[in-house]
Structure 1
Amino acid sequence: MPSTYNSLLVVVSLMVATLASFTALDLASRISMLKHSAVRHAWLAGGATAMGVGIWSMHFVAMLAFSLPIPLGYDLAISGYSLLIAILVSWFALYVVTRAHFGVLDIAVGGVLMGFGIAGMHYTGMAALRMSPGIDYDPTLFMASIAIAIVASTAALWIARTLSDIRQRHIIVKRIGAALVMGVAITGMHYTAMAAADFMPGSICGAANGVDTRWLATTITLFTFAILTVTLILSRFDVRTELLAGSVTQLNDQIVRMVNHDTLTDLPNRRALVERIETVVHNAKRADTMFAVLFMDIDGFKTINDSLGHSTGDEVLKAFARRLQQCVRDGDTVARLGGDEFVVLIENLASPDEAQDLAQSVLDRMGRGHWSDEQPLQAVPSVGIALFPRDGESADALLKNADAAMYEAKRAGRATWRFFESSMNVAAMRTLQIQNAIRVALDEGHFSLRFQPKYDGLNNELVGAEALIRLEHPELGLLMPTEFIPTAERSGLIVQIGEWVVRETCRQIRQWQMAGLPEMKVAVNLSPRQMIQPDLIDTMVSIVHAEHVRCDQIIFEITEAVAMHDAPKTVDMIQAFQGAGFEIAIDDFGTGYSSLAYLERFRVKQLKIDRFFTNGLDAQGHEGRAIVSAIIALAHSLNMEVVAEGVETPSQLSELQVMACDQMQGYLLGKPLTAGAFATLLEQQIDIEPA
């Protein structure tokens, strides 16, 4: 029996298939974003219904485009079954493509099942014609239609999975193109299946009911377009709402993280650490367990920051944080309080030895390797340990006591650990008082200078002095340099203090000169922090010139350990000082393991023998004398003067004179004097000079 097609309805069927495909792709993306189970199931059901209606409508409109020489109609019940199949197939497709784990095998199996389902929908729909005699199908085209359905379904699943991420660029354009391809494939399957149908001559449609085909096609088409359009609008609106809600949630999470985490290292900050410690305190009290707080401060970090810059310092901090996380156990907390201060919270300790072992492990680990690609840096901390409940039952108490123990570790030589002891609180309070005293000392005039005389080794004549700083606090009394200089060094205030010492020394020299007293060279110590200042020499020259004193009246003393820390740089600095007219002395010689090659390159004015070797002249007998004699001989061979400090006994003085030591200073010869007392000493020097 010959058949014909309505071209307009054929085009409409393709449009319906394309719109249904686009809706399916959009729904797959929408459902993939959902986490809440109930909402996800609701969208699966609603989306499957809309998508199923779309696919079924395409089939039905395409059937309405088909006509025979006899009246045609469709059984409502059988048509309803085909619609139900379309909805079930759609639900299956959406379920498969929106699962979290979806592989190639899932696509293949799903494509086969979907293909059979779509073919089943079509041929069930064909059965709704209730033709008599029945429809005869060409086997080849019949199998081809099923194959097309399987291939189209597999492709649809793969495309839906590929385009499920809405963050892709040009996602809408990609979906439109993919929907058009899928629409062509679906309609191609339908019309291939229709081509397989052979209607026998004289056949009668048992479902013919006289309904106007054009009216029915228009109604179904409009109804379908309405359903799919509303579904798309709801999906797009819901996606935007979901994205907005997700953005707000993400922003809130970021704000919470910023409040509780350090921006440089991404470690918990002080706020988060305190909250964690309070929680652990509560749990430890209930379970009667012990835990430890390890407070760490990187030794020499300020020097790294000042000499190499803050960017290198930041890299060191980040590297230190990463390595520290590798040193602790799973479940322990690593936090950064700020600057170079880090804390490790170790929970569920069986004994204090575990905290001790971990602290030693950290020190061993940090002492290995380099910390920066540009500079061979090592960042080793001093560690203070406080135990709960022995050393405190609150976060503040534990942190404060661990901090006190850390400072005790620094006083013990750095790169070591100490457990907290109650006596440390006294030392910590003293340190805090000294810190506060230093901050106001420059403004309120609490600093003063003492001048320790230096005498010629041959004739005992006064040849100079060493300027020594003192801090006279109204409440703390007279503070010696050993008490406040380390604190000033750590805080960076030593730079200002050092400039004050040079300026005050020059003023005193100028006053002595104006009083007609003999010229004396005065030695001034340079601290490690001053040595790394890029404008150190220019600053010193400007101070000396401003006070109208010659540069050669100042001798700057650099400790041997500081000089050898970066010997090539020290050589350049010494030459620059000498070029400006200053003289340089190497202080504490014998304690810094100088290389003889560098000692020759230093070419300084003086070597100062450390008081340890001077004391050894009495305590170590022949061996002590041999060492001092060798130092003096070495210095003289390099055309350097030798100054022995710490001369306290007549026997030491006698031995040094025999060894031809150039200059000496110590309590035996003269204690540090005020400027006025030293002026009196200078006057006496005039009196004893021959007329």
Structure 2
Amino acid sequence: MPGTYNLLLVAVSLVVATLASYTALDLASRISMLKHPASRHAWLAGGATAMGVGIWSMHFIGMLAFSLPIPLGFNPAITGYSLLIAICVSWFALHVTTRARLSSRGVAAGGALMGLGIAGMHYTGMAALQMQPGIDYEPLLLGASIAIAIVASTAALWIARMLSNMRQRYAAAKRAMAGLLMGTAITGMHYTGMAAADFMPGSICGAANGVDTQWLATTITLFTLAILIVTLILSRFDVRTALLAGSVTKLNDQIVRMVNHDALTDLPNRRALVERIETVVHNAKRAHETFAVLFLDIDGFKTINDSLGHSVGDEVLKTFARRLQQCVREGDTVARLGGDEFVVLMENLTSPDEAQDVAQNVLDSTERGHWRDGQPFQAVPSIGIAMFPRDGETPDALLKNADAAMYEAKRAGRATWRFFEASMNVAAMRTLQIQNAIRVALDEGYFSLHFQPKFSSSNELAGAEALLRLNHPELGLLTPAEFIPTAERSGLIVPIGQWVVRETCRQIQHWQALGLPVIKVAVNLSPRQMAQPDLIETMVEIVRAEGVPCEQIMFEITEAVAMHDAAKTTEMIQAFQHAGFEIAIDDFGTGYSSLAYLERFRVKQLKIDRLFTCGLDAQGHEGRAIVSAIIALAHSLNMEVVAEGVETTSQFSELQVMACDQMQGYLLARPMTGDAFGSLLEQQMARV
């Protein structure tokens, strides 16, 4: 019995199949993004229902497009079974395509099972006609329809897998093209299966019920399109919501990381370190364990930062942080507190020796430049070590005591380590008091200048050295040895040094206003000042503003600072001399002199360190030979020699014999106030 097709409904069935295929692909990508099991199950169930209804509707509309010379109808129960099969097949398809791993063999097996399921749905739907006698199927076309179902299903699974990433380029367009191909294949399977059906002449439809086929097709089409479109809208809305939530979560994670990590080195910052120490303290108390906090500060970093620039300083910090992580044990926490201060938290220690070993490893690696990446690099720290629970049971106490031990390491000569001891708290408190005193000293007028006279070998006044004092109302009179290192570390030495030059000029002006002889005063320059790019211009400006000739000021640079960058020092000395200042090399013999550079410096004076002056008495002939050699060297280079620390008559006599140009020390005169030095000048003038 021949049948005919309503071409409009055939086209509608193709549209429904295409939309159902696109929906399936979209749902597969959506479900692949879900991590929460409950959400995945919910979307699998809802998506399978929508997809199953779409595939079943395509089949049912295709059935309605077919007509025979006899009335047709469908058994509701059997039709329902075919719908259930379509939903189950759809659930299986979505489940397979959204698995974390899917091999080619898995795609093939899944495609075969899905194809058999779709074929089962189709032929169950055909059985819902309840034809009498039954439908006779042509074997070749029947097999072809099943083969098409399997091939189409396998292709659908593979395409869905390939398009599961919703963020790939042109994902929507690719999904639409794939949906059209899949819809065409599914539709082709259906109509191949219909072509395989052979209806016997005189057959009747046992399920015929007189329902209007056009009305039923329209209702199912609209209902199916509504379900698929709503599903797509919900999917897209949920995707956007999920992406927005993911972006917010990612942003929140970034904010949390920024709050808890140092932006330059990406190490945990103080906040994160304190939280970690709190956790470790809690665990250590419960397990009766010990741990260590190592506080590290890079020696001379401020000089590097000031002389070479902040960009170089930042690179030093990043490199040091990376290299420091190479020196510690696996599981230790390395954090940066700020500036050049780093902390290592070492957990689960069996003895303090383990902390000592790590500290020594850091020093050995930084001093010798032995790194696993083979790049030369030197940034040597001083290290303080505090042990839990001996040295504190809170993060603040442990960090404070490790910091105190670190400063003790600096006082011991730097580039070393020290364990915390209770006595260090006294020194740390003293250091803190001095820091606070320095910060307000300029504004409150706590600084003052003393002047140490310099005498010629004939015991005549030849000049003076300006010495800074800090007279604090609570701490009393402080010597430079007590506060200059702290001022140097904090950077306050720069404005303090400018004040010293300005105050020296004012004192010179005061002496000259009293009619006293012209005198040359020496002023010390610190390493931090030497690193200032505008040092010479600033000094010239100060001296000229105070109305003092530059020739009356001599700047003293220690030998160690001068030789740190001898080439740069040579340029600075020449610039100072060009401006009219004179330069002296202080503490000569205690650094690492280079005679070649000494000749290039061409300074006015060499100052022999008090160590060698004391050696004139303590070391006898050897001591005299060293001092005599220094004086002879200086005179050969047309430099004057000043001996510091002259405290005995025998030293003075020896220096006179050696033709030392000038001497200073307690034997001759102690440092004195400006007024007292003025009186000394007046006495000198009276003798003349």
TM-score by length of 1: 0.93
Report the equivalent of 1:597.
596
Distance, in Å, in 2 between the alignment partners of 1:8 and 1:402 is 86
Report the equivalent of 2:60.
60
Q: Deviations over 1:626-671 (max 9, x none)?
A: 3223222322222222222122223322332333322222222222
Contact 1:370–1:378 (Cα < 8 Å) also in 2: no
Deviates more, 1:618-627 or 1:191-200: 191-200
Q: CA deviation at 1:56?
A: 1.3
Q: How many equivalent pairs are there? A: 685
Q: Quick one: structure 1 residues 591 and 156, their matched pair in 2 at CA, closer, same or farther if it must change by over 3 Å?
A: farther
Report the equivalent of 2:513.
514
Q: CA deviation at 1:161?
A: 3.0
Report the equivalent of 2:653.
654
Q: Quick one: structure 1 residues 44 and 528, their matched pair in 2 at CA, closer, same or farther if it must change by over 3 Å?
A: same
Distance, in Å, in 1 between the alignment partners of 2:512 and 2:414 is 44
Q: CA deviation at 1:479?
A: 0.5
Distance, in Å, in 2 between the alignment partners of 1:653 and 1:106 is 101
Q: Please tell me the residue identity of whatever aligns with 1:348.
A: N
Question: In the alignment, does 2:222 pair up with 1:235?
Answer: no
* 1:111-510 pair list within 5 angstroms: 111-131=111-131, 132=133, 134-139=135-140, 141-199=141-199, 205-367=205-367, 369=369, 378-457=378-457, 459-510=458-509
SS, match of residue 430 in structure 1: helix
Q: Please tell me the residue identity of whatever aligns with 2:276.
A: R
Deviates more, 1:611-620 or 1:169-178: 169-178
Q: Please tell me the residue identity of whatever aligns with 1:662.
A: D
Deviates more, 1:36-45 or 1:576-585: 36-45
Q: Please tell me the residue identity of whatever aligns with 2:419.
A: F
Q: Quick one: structure 1 residues 76 and 395, their matched pair in 2 at CA, closer, same or farther if it must change by over 3 Å?
A: same
Q: Quick one: structure 1 residues 453 and 103, their matched pair in 2 at CA, closer, same or farther if it must change by over 3 Å?
A: farther
Q: Quick one: structure 1 residues 559 and 111, their matched pair in 2 at CA, closer, same or farther if it must change by over 3 Å?
A: farther
The CA RMSD over aligned residues, in Å, is 2.6
Question: In the alignment, does 2:9 pair up with 1:9?
Answer: yes
Deviates more, 1:142-151 or 1:387-396: 142-151
SS, match of residue 331 in structure 2: coil
Show structure 1 runs of 5+ residues with no match. none
Distance, in Å, in 1 between the alignment partners of 2:217 and 2:350 is 81
% identical equivalent positions: 82
Distance, in Å, in 1 between the alignment partners of 2:152 and 2:590 is 85
Distance, in Å, in 2 between the alignment partners of 1:530 and 1:394 is 39
Q: Deviations over 1:279-298 (max 9, x none)?
A: 22222222211111112222
SS, match of residue 348 in structure 1: strand
Report the equivalent of 1:79.
79
Distance, in Å, in 2 between the alignment partners of 1:461 and 1:285 is 71
Deviates more, 1:258-267 or 1:631-640: 258-267
Q: Please tell me the residue identity of whatever aligns with 2:466.
A: A
Contact 1:435–1:487 (Cα < 8 Å) also in 2: yes
Q: Deviations over 1:364-390 (max 9, x none)?
A: 33446599x9x9753332211111111
Q: Please tell me the residue identity of whatever aligns with 1:136.
A: Y
Q: Please tell me the residue identity of whatever aligns with 1:423.
A: S
Distance, in Å, in 1 between the alignment partners of 2:554 and 2:437 is 28
Deviates more, 1:666-675 or 1:122-131: 122-131
Distance, in Å, in 2 between the alignment partners of 1:274 and 1:648 is 53
Contact 1:138–1:198 (Cα < 8 Å) also in 2: no
Report the equivalent of 1:683.
682
Distance, in Å, in 2 between the alignment partners of 1:52 and 1:7 is 24
Report the equivalent of 2:614.
615
Distance, in Å, in 2 between the alignment partners of 1:154 and 1:567 is 78
SS, match of residue 392 in structure 2: coil
Distance, in Å, in 2 between the alignment partners of 1:107 and 1:136 is 29
Distance, in Å, in 2 between the alignment partners of 1:312 and 1:329 is 28
* 1:527-676 pair list within 5 angstroms: 527-676=526-675
SS, match of residue 588 in structure 1: strand
Deviates more, 1:265-274 or 1:471-480: 265-274
Distance, in Å, in 1 between the alignment partners of 2:26 and 2:367 is 57
Distance, in Å, in 2 between the alignment partners of 1:635 and 1:109 is 96
Q: CA deviation at 1:96?
A: 1.9
Report the equivalent of 1:99.
99
Contact 2:135–2:197 (Cα < 8 Å) also in 1: no
Contact 1:608–1:645 (Cα < 8 Å) also in 2: yes
Q: CA deviation at 1:542?
A: 0.7
Show structure 2 runs of 5+ residues with no match. none
SS, match of residue 463 in structure 2: strand
Q: Please tell me the residue identity of whatever aligns with 1:628.
A: V
Q: CA deviation at 1:169?
A: 4.8
Q: Quick one: structure 1 residues 147 and 658, their matched pair in 2 at CA, closer, same or farther if it must change by over 3 Å?
A: farther
Q: CA deviation at 1:8?
A: 0.8
Q: CA deviation at 1:275?
A: 2.6
Q: Quick one: structure 1 residues 350 and 145, their matched pair in 2 at CA, closer, same or farther if it must change by over 3 Å?
A: same
Q: Quick one: structure 1 residues 631 and 148, their matched pair in 2 at CA, closer, same or farther if it must change by over 3 Å?
A: farther
SS, match of residue 670 in structure 2: coil
Q: CA deviation at 1:272?
A: 2.8
SS, match of residue 673 in structure 1: coil
Q: Quick one: structure 1 residues 151 and 463, their matched pair in 2 at CA, closer, same or farther if it must change by over 3 Å?
A: farther
Distance, in Å, in 1 between the alignment partners of 2:370 and 2:168 is 42
Q: Please tell me the residue identity of whatever aligns with 1:165.
A: N
Distance, in Å, in 2 between the alignment partners of 1:483 and 1:72 is 110
SS, match of residue 393 in structure 1: coil
Q: CA deviation at 1:503?
A: 0.8
Distance, in Å, in 2 between the alignment partners of 1:603 and 1:112 is 95
Contact 1:133–1:204 (Cα < 8 Å) also in 2: no
Q: CA deviation at 1:681?
A: 1.9
SS, match of residue 232 in structure 1: helix
Deviates more, 1:49-58 or 1:129-138: 129-138
Q: Quick one: structure 1 residues 117 and 329, their matched pair in 2 at CA, closer, same or farther if it must change by over 3 Å?
A: farther
Q: Quick one: structure 1 residues 396 and 628, their matched pair in 2 at CA, closer, same or farther if it must change by over 3 Å?
A: same
Distance, in Å, in 2 between the alignment partners of 1:205 and 1:480 is 117
SS, match of residue 455 in structure 1: strand
SS, match of residue 555 in structure 1: strand
Q: Quick one: structure 1 residues 422 and 3, their matched pair in 2 at CA, closer, same or farther if it must change by over 3 Å?
A: same
Q: Deviations over 1:203-259 (max 9, x none)?
A: 555544443322222222122112222322333333344344444444444444343
SS, match of residue 422 in structure 1: coil
Q: CA deviation at 1:550?
A: 0.9
Contact 2:135–2:198 (Cα < 8 Å) also in 1: no
